Amino acid sequence: MIALVRHGETEPNRAGLLLGRADPPLTDAGRAQADAVARSLCRSHAPIAVVSSPLQRAVATASAIAECAGVGVEVDERLVEIDYGEWDERGFDDVPADELARWRRDPEFAPPGGESLAAVQARAGACAQELLERAGDGVVVAVSHVSPIKGAVAWAIGASPDAAWRMRLDLASITRIIPGPAGPTLLTYNERVAV
């Protein structure tokens, strides 16, 4: 099984900004969220591996889980957040309305200097496939961000990348994918852990 974990809160998350490759730290609330997720994951079935996006908000979340599980943190670049390019750390109201509309209807559209949802799904799906095979009967935790996790879910259920617009994914949530007879299977989505 893969347990996909979205990182804890940062200041731009709190402000409702698009947060891609910018690299702010967790807030105090974000660190508490990471600790709560770690306790929840280690209580049920300790992970055999913890893999993380290279961004510090993900690595800090992963470190709390890895410490609890008694393993190290491995970094996988494919788990990094979508590249919002010129839109990074902007509010949705600051994005031109015509470009925002195009982004929502065209999975191949990329923000200026950024990355498309289709590209995110391709890399997140490939990473999820490898981690699912690696997990065997155990649990591999992958700490990532909203877009790669939604991309991995869309990959698992055979949906188009634009399905991401119809999924809500909270901070410090857990999403689980397991192997199934017909391929990857979504077991749970957006599990929230009490802090």
- Report helix, strand or coil for 152: helix
The question of whether 81 is a catalytic residue gets the answer yes
DSSP string over 156-185 = HHT--GGGGGG----TTEEEEEEEETTEEE
7, 9, 115, 145: the catalytic one is 7
Q: Does residue 191 have an active-site annotation?
A: no
Of 9, 81, 115, 145, which residue is the catalytic one?
81
Residues with catalytic roles? 7, 81
